[in-house]
Structures are given as C-alpha cells and as structure tokens.
C-alpha cells in the first residue's frame, strides 16, 4: 500500500517544503483525532417504570390499551401490580424464572450443558423447546437432570459432575462401523 505521508523529499535547505510538510502532517493529525473522537453514550434510569401498552403489530408508535406487567399467559402466571417498582418487577421475574413450577429454565440449562459435553443436546433444537422444536430424545433424563439442578440450589457444578461421572460420558468416543452408518 502507498504510505500515508512520504518524508523522503524533506530537506533543511528548503524551508517552504518544510512548512508544506508540517501543514500536511497537521492535516493528517486532525483527521486522526476525528477518527478517535469518543462516542458519548447517555443512559438514564427512572425511579418508576412508565405504563406498558399493548402495541399494534409490535409497533411502539401505535400503542393500544394499557396492560399490567406480566408474562405471556401461555408461559404461566406472573401477576404484578401496574404500579410495581422496577426492583419489584425484576425480583418477581427472577423468582418466576427460577420457580419449580417453571421447569423450562432448568431444562434449557441442563440441555445446553449436555450439548457442551456431547456435542448434541437431549433436545436437538436447543433454542426452540416449543412445538416447532424437536422433542427430547430422553425426556425422563432431561426432567431428572432439571430436577437435580433445582434441588441442588441451581449448582451448575453439580450437573457437570453428574454428567462427567456418568457411564454415558465414560463410553468410548472412538467411531465404530455401526455408529458411522447412522
């Protein structure tokens, strides 16, 4: 590539050339400082969240009726007062996500740990546990591991240990002719 600035023609005998060179260098430095100017990001936090509205086709510029904070009804019940503070909303959501009545979170975590160790999860579609996703190959094992996670205070170390100490994990990973046909 061509150099940004070439000093080979600079000479102490030609002061005008030195001034031109200095001016060109100053111009380059101004360009550089324009590239390096920091982007300022502003963030605000309000004491109380504003009202939540149902949006027409998801468009934030087309709000419809006001709704109370909660979850999609199909996922379960999370009832909150519309005047609940941000902290109350966050705590309620965290409690709902980690609730024993909501085993989906534990199932997803356990499936991703299994996928990490074996290359494929018990559910082949780890990002889709819904009706569009694949069913688990071993649903009882998935449920048992999810229960183990919840009963052991959500200890990921415990789940890793269970998987790594299992006879399934200790099986040989050498390819066999039978497994290559699958």
pLDDT in tens, 58-110: 898 999 998 887 777 766 777 787 778 888 888 988 888 888 888 889 999 99
Of 89-93, 123-127, 139-143, 177-181, the least confident: 177-181
Alpha helical stretches, state H, 79-138: 86-97, 104-118
Q: Give the pLDDT of residue 2.
A: 58
Together in a domain, 114 and 74: no
> How many domains does the chain fold into?
2
Task: Report if residue 114 sits inside a domain.
Answer: yes
For 21, 90, 115, the CA distances from 67, given in Å and listed in that order, are: 66, 17, 38
Mean pLDDT of 133-149: 94
Task: Report if residue 23 sits inside a domain.
Answer: no
- Does pLDDT of 1 surpass 60? no
Task: Report if residue 63 sits inside a domain.
Answer: yes
Mean pLDDT of 146-162: 96
Domain that holds residue 61: 52-83
Together in a domain, 71 and 114: no
What percentage of residues in the chain have a pLDDT greater than 90?
31
Record the tokens describing residue 156, joined without a space. 């990921």
Return all residues near 130 (Cβ < 8 A) that are at least 6 apart: none
Report the sign of the C-alpha dihedral through residues 15, 16, 17, 19, in that order: positive
Task: Report if residue 162 sits inside a domain.
Answer: yes
What percentage of residues in the chain have a pLDDT greater than 70?
85
Together in a domain, 111 and 77: no
**Residue among 113, 111, 168, 120 nearest 142 (CA):** 111
pLDDT grade for 132, boundaries at 50, 70 and 90: confident
């Amino acid at each position: 590539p061509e150099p940004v600035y070439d000093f080979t023609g600079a000479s102490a005998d030609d002061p005008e050339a030195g001034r031109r060179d200095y001016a060109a260098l100053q111009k380059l430095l101004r360009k550089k400082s324009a590239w390096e100017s920091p982007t300022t990001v502003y963030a605000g936090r309000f004491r109380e969240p504003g009202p939540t509205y149902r949006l027409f086709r998801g468009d934030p510029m087309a709000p419809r009726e006001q709704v109370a904070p909660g979850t999609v009804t199909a996922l379960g019940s999370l009832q909150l007062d519309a005047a609940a503070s941000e902290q109350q909303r966050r705590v309620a959501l965290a409690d709902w996500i980690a609730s024993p009545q909501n085993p989906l979170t534990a199932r997803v975590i356990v499936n991703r740990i299994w996928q990490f160790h074996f290359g494929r999860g018990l559910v082949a579609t780890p990002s889709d546990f819904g009706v569009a996703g694949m069913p688990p190959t071993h649903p009882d094992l998935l449920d048992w591991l999810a229960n183990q996670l919840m009963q052991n205070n959500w200890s990921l170390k415990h789940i890793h240990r269970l998987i790594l100490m299992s006879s399934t994990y200790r099986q040989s990973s050498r390819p066999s002719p039978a497994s290559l046909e699958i």
